[in-house]
Structure 1
Amino acid sequence: MIPVRGFEGARVAVLGLGRSGLSAARALRAGGAVPLCWDDNEAARVAAEAEGFRIADFSRAGAFDGVAALIVSPGIPHLYPAPNRVIAAAQEAGVPVDNDIGLFFRSLATQAWDDLDVAPRVVAVTGSNGKSTTSALIHHVLREAGREAQLAGNIGRGVLDIDPPGDGGVVVLELSSYQTDLARALTPDVAVFTNFSPDHLDRHGGLGGYFAAKRRLFAEGGPDRAVIGVDEDEGRYLAGQLSEGSGDDRVIRVSVARKLSGPGWSVFARKGFLSEYRQGRQVGSIDLRGIKGLPGAHNHQNACAAYAAARTLGLAPRVIEQGFRSFAGLPHRSQRVAEKSGVTFVNDSKATNVDSALKALLAFENIRWICGGLEKEGGLAGLKPGLAHVRRAYVIGREAAQFALGLEGVESEVCTTMARAVGRAVEDAEPGDVVLLAPAAASFDQYDNFERRGEDFIAEVRARL
């Protein structure tokens, strides 16, 4: 645990008692603060009370009198589409609002670090797609290289639940826009921006607000090194804002769309080959084509970002390559779950938006595509470049018929349920086909989360093999 510093003896409100909220309350208490907790869910309040936490209803008048800060869980809106009533009350009372990420950065470094030979470092990864895989890949490469590393944030453990890092230890954080948007302290040593595409627009008041939330990771504290995907306008803008010139190697540019040139530091992948260039010279390369845990251009982009981050931490190219080759991938992200009679079954339930689903479609040929769910803003037109890879679509979700209408030029079948979709795909599949779950939609019309949707797909596949 990372005890929260700076609130000794103070009353600190905690709103939301899920994983991050409860860990924040525990860390506050460990640092000498007095947490006052609330969650609209009664079961969550009971669980917190069982741990000895005081429950306080912040909707009552004067609830924030004498409160030093309000710590908010990431799923609770603080501005758009409208502030949560408790957050609005705290802001009206002049009480600072923060989250567990902000508490982590203000509390991680201690005087004990003075006795370490090598100070611990924090690598923070954000972006629209690939955050989880990139974070897990960095963590895996470090561990395979014998380095102390912990994985936390939006993946793995809560940031305040990790152990205090030791000599030369590295903390790898995956951070969503919900987390970066509110944190009052953001000071990673290495910050990574994977890519950018529309998502969570209602929560951030539009595309500009969404990008602004991502940008805060680089603007608030200023990392020593920034790894920036430059295949979109936003990434190119961010790299330009952070760089002092074309040769500034504090910014490492990453691409899977083109060869990068110039005197700076760049990592790019073309036709399955990763290349690292510094000062106009190639200094490292990896053949990514045979690495099963990293299929497709989108995973090659993740590999480039992870490679660049690992290089900033002093790892050699061959050491990084060894880590890549032993990386098994993450559940629900281009996860190969079975193969039979020449048919491969891939679970990419995490493809919850059009951009991530397009990347999955481009990674495979001869696809029996299971898609559909709660469609997001912007429609399905962005899928067009990948539809030539689809032999047939099997559409799930409560609005499956409407979703299917948006798949122009693709033979589709309205299945509604996962069981029927998998069954029909298995019946139709031929050797060389890939049965791919890449929904291009949220899961909440039928499932609690994308993990449950992926697990249902795996269960239906295994029941038929």
Structure 2
Amino acid sequence: MIPVVGFEGARVAVLGLGRSGLATAWALRAGGAMPVCWDDNPAARDAAEAEGFDCSDLLKQGAFDTIKTLIVSPGIPHLYPTPNPVVLAALNAGVPVDNDIGLFFRSFATRQWDNFETLPKVIAVTGSNGKSTTSALIHHVLDQAGRRTQLAGNIGRGVLDIEPAEDGDVVVLELSSYQTELARHLTPDIAVFTNLSPDHLDRHAGVGGYFAAKRRLFAEGGPDRAVIGVDEPEGLFLAGQLSEGPADDRVIKVSVAQKLSGPGWQVFAKKGFLSEYRKGRQAGSIDLRAIPGLPGAHNHQNACAAYAACRALGLAPRVIEAGFASFEGLPHRSQIIAVSNGVTFVNDSKATNVDAACKALAAFKNIRWICGGLEKDGGLGDLPAAAGNVCKAYVIGREAAGFAMQLTGVDAEVCGTMEIAVRRAIEDAQDGDVVLLAPAAASFDQYDSFEKRGDDFIAQVQAGLGSV
């Protein structure tokens, strides 16, 4: 646990008592603060009270009269689409609003670091797609290289739930836009921006607000090194804002769409080969094609970003390559779950938006595509055009018929449920085909999470293959 500093003897309100909210309450108490907790869910309040925390309605008159700061859990919208009433009450009372990420960055460094030979580092990864895989890959490479490392944030443990730093530690944080938009302190040593595609538009009042939330990690924090994916205009713009000129190697540009050149520091992948150039000369290369845990161009982008971050820490290219080779990938992200009679079954349930699904479709050939769910703002956009490798689509979700109608030029069958979609895909599949779950939609019309959706896909595949 990271005890929160700066609130000794103060009352600090905590809104939202899920995983990060409870961890925040414990960390505040460990630092000498007095947490005042609230959640609209009575069961969550009961659980917090059972652990000895005071729960008090933060909307009652005078609730913020003695509160020093309000800490908001990331799942709670604080401004858009409408201001959260508790957040609004805090702002009207002049009470600062923060989140657990802000508390982490103000509390992680301690006086003990004065005795360390090697100062701990924080690598923070954000972006629309690939940030989980990139974060996990960095963590894996460091672990395989013998560096003590912890993985936290939007993946793994809550940021305040990790262990205090030891000499030479590296903490890898995956940060969503929900986490970066509100944190009052953002000071990573290395910050990574994978890519940007429209997502969470209602929460951020449009793509501009969404990009602004991601950009805060770099603009507010001033990292020593920034790894920036430049295949979208926003990434190119961000790299330009952070750089003092073409030779400024504090910015490492990353691409899977083009060969990068110039006097600066670049990492790019073309046709499955990763190349690193610095000061106009090649400094490293890796053949990514034979690495099973990193299939497809989208994972090659993740590999480039992870490689750049590890190189910024001083790891040698061959050490990074060895870590890549043993990386098994993450569940629900291009996860190969079975191969039967020449047919490969791939679970990419994390492909919850159009851009992620397009990248998954580009990674395989002869695809039997299971898609559909709760459609996000902006529609399907270029998704039909990206479906050139699709033999047939099997559409699930409550609005499966409407989703299927938008897949112009794609042979689409309305299935409704995962059970039917998997069964029909198995019946149709031939040697060399890939049955791919890449929904291009949220899961919440039928499942509690994308993980639950992926688990159902795995279960249905296992049941279907068992009956063949």
TM-score if structure 1 supplies the norm length?
A: 1.00
Match of 2:86 in 1: 86
The percentage of aligned residue pairs carrying the same residue is: 77
3-state SS of 2:413 partner: strand
| Cα distance in 1 between the residues matched to 2:354 and 2:108 | 37
Write the distance in 2 (CA, Å) between the matches of 1:240 and 1:324. 29
Alpha-carbon distance between aligned partners in 1 of 2:388 and 2:104, rounded to the nearest angstrom: 46
Aligned-residue offset at 1:383: 1.2
For residues 381 and 302 of structure 1, the distance between their equivalents in structure 2, rounded to whole angstroms, comes to 23
**AA at the equivalent of 2:269:** A
Q: CA deviation at 1:221?
A: 1.9
CA deviations over 1:92-135 (Å, ceiling 9, x no partner): 00000000000000000000000000010000000000000000
CA distance in 2, matches of 1:398, 1:233: 35
Give the superposition deviation at 1:373: 0.3
Contact 2:124 2:192 in 1 (8 A): yes
CA contact (8 A) 2:384 2:410 kept: no
1:83 Cα deviation (Å)? 1.1
Q: Which amino acid aligns with 2:48?
A: A
CA distance in 2, matches of 1:48, 1:121: 32
Partner residue of 2:408? 408
For residues 258-287 of structure 1, give each alpha carbon's deviation from its aligned partner in whole angstroms, at most 9, with x where no partner exists: 000000000000000000000000010000
- SS of residue matched to 1:382: coil
Question: 1:433 and 2:433 equivalent?
Answer: yes
Instruction: Provide the residue aligned with 2:351 in structure 1.
Output: 351
Structure 2: how far apart are the matches of 1:269 and 1:411? Answer: 32
Distance 1:148 1:138 in 2: 12
- The 2-side partners of 1:241 and 1:312 are apart by 20
Structure-1 residue corresponding to 2:201: 201
* Cα distance, 1:386 vs structure 2: 2.2
Give a deviation string over 1:122-168, Cα, whole Å, max 9, x none: 00000000000000000000000000000000000000000012111
How far, CA to CA, are the matches of 2:60 and 2:292 in structure 1?
Answer: 56
Cα drift, residue 380 of structure 1 = 1.4
Distance 1:411 1:338 in 2: 24
> 1:31 offset after TM fit, Å?
0.1
Residue 419 (structure 1) aligns with? 419
Q: 2:211 aligned with 1:211, yes or no?
A: yes
Aligned residue in 2 for 1:253: 253
Rounded to whole Å, the distance in 1 between the matches of 2:464 and 2:322 is: 35
What is the rounded CA distance, in whole Å, between the counterparts of 2:181 and 2:321 in structure 1?
34
Structure 2 unaligned blocks of 5 or more: none
Q: What SS does the corresponding residue of 1:262 show, helix, strand or coil?
A: coil
What letter matches 1:270 in structure 2?
K
Aligned residue in 1 for 2:6: 6
Distance in 2, matches of 1:336 and 1:278, equals 35
1:456 aligns to what SS in structure 2? helix
State the AA in 2 paired with 1:214: K
Partner of 1:306: 306
What are the superposed Cα offsets for residues 19-51 of structure 1, whole Å, 9 maximum, x if unpaired? 110000000000000000000011110110011
The amino acid of 2:164's aligned partner reads P
Moved over 4 A (4+): none
Listed as ranges, the matches of 1:245-324 within 5 Å are 245-324=245-324
Write the letter of the residue equivalent to 2:300: H
* TM-score, normalised relative to structure 2: 0.99
Residue 333 (structure 1) shift:
0.3
CA RMSD of aligned residues (A): 0.5
State the 1:384 CA deviation: 3.3
Alignment length (residue pairs): 465
Structure 1 gaps, min length 5: none
Q: Distance in 2 between matches of 1:278 and 1:235?
A: 19
Q: Do the aligned partners of 2:384 and 2:409 also contact (CA within 8 Å) in 1?
A: no
Tell me the equivalent position of 2:447: 447
